[in-house]
Structure 1
Amino acid sequence: MIKKHIIYKKDKWNMLTVEVNGKQLILREISDQWGEDCHTFLSRPEMMHWVNERFPKQSFEGSEEEYESMMEAFRQV
């Protein structure tokens, strides 16, 4: 059974989801700029490492609350 988590969804062209398929975490990042980017992780720590590299707090475009709610959504996966 695959469980899907929506990390954020601004519209149908800008979203980030994580699907949990057994031990595998499949992260899909969809943007109107770059299309769909898919990453597969074998552990939550591996995924969180990628998240911290991809979304450094100092260069996040948005409010502190938006950043914290996105990070919390990742931690809930």
Structure 2
Amino acid sequence: KLLYTHVCKDHIGRKHPPTHEYHCLWGTCKHPMTYKRDHLISHIMVHVPMKNFSCEICKKKFKRSHDLKKHSKIH
């Protein structure tokens, strides 16, 4: 959690003008550029070993809420 907070606060920073380009600079990540800060914040979860979202049925854990939402459709 501390790593995620640090990356979001200190490396991605506050909101910028709508024309600002956001890039993932994590190692050799090939994530495409985005103009939306929230998209990059969501993507950062791929790199952080934190799974806050769990399925109440099978207890499987996920890094992002929308991944849990997709998973829930199989039950």
Q: Say whether the fold is shared (TM-score over 0.5).
A: no
TM-score, scaled to structure 2: 0.33
TM-score (ref. length: structure 1): 0.32
Q: Which has the higher strand share?
A: 1
- Determine which structure has more spread, i.e. the larger CA radius of gyration: 2
